[in-house]
C-alpha cells in the first residue's frame, strides 16, 4: 500500500498526461481528467489505448490494496496493469 501511495499520488498532482506505458505498437496513456465513459463510475480518470493507428477511450483507477492500475476500455475489455509498468510524464 505504501509503495502504491508513492507511485500514484505524485502522478495525480499533475494535470493532463501523467503517465504512459507501452510495448511494441501499444501505448497506454493515463490522464488526470475525468473519465469520459458514462457507464463507468468506479474508475474516475481518463485513459487512452493507442495501437496500430486506432485509439480506444478508457478509464483508470489505482487499487488501494495492490500496486495495480485497473482499466476499462470502450471495447468493453478490462485490463489490470502493474503500476510499475508506467513511466511518469514530467511537465517542462
* Residue range 51-67: mean pLDDT, rounded: 94
Mean pLDDT of the chain: 86
Output the DSSP codes for 44-81. Answer: -EEEEEEETTEEEEEEEEE-SSSSEEEEEETTS-EEEE
Pairing status of strand 68-73 against strand 54-62: antiparallel
What tens digit of pLDDT does each residue of 74-92 get?
A: 999 999 999 999 999 876 5
Every domain of the chain and the residues it spans: 2-88
pLDDT at 4 over 60: no
pLDDT at 71 over 70: yes
Q: What is the C-alpha to C-alpha distance for residues 35 and 7, in angstroms, rounded to an integer?
A: 20
pLDDT level of residue 65 (50, 70, 90 thresholds): very high
- Residue 6 confidence (pLDDT): 46
pLDDT level of residue 60 (50, 70, 90 thresholds): very high
Amino acid at each position: 500500500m505504501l509503495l502504491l501511495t508513492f507511485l500514484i499520488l505524485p502522478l495525480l498532482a499533475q494535470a493532463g498526461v501523467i503517465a504512459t506505458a507501452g510495448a511494441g505498437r501499444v501505448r497506454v496513456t493515463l490522464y488526470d481528467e475525468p473519465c469520459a465513459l458514462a457507464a463507468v463510475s468506479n474508475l474516475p480518470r481518463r485513459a487512452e489505448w493507442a495501437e496500430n493507428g486506432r485509439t480506444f477511450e478508457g478509464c483508470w483507477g489505482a487499487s488501494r490494496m495492490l500496486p495495480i492500475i485497473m482499466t476499462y476500455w470502450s471495447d468493453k475489455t478490462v485490463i489490470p496493469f502493474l503500476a510499475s509498468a508506467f513511466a511518469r510524464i514530467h511537465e517542462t
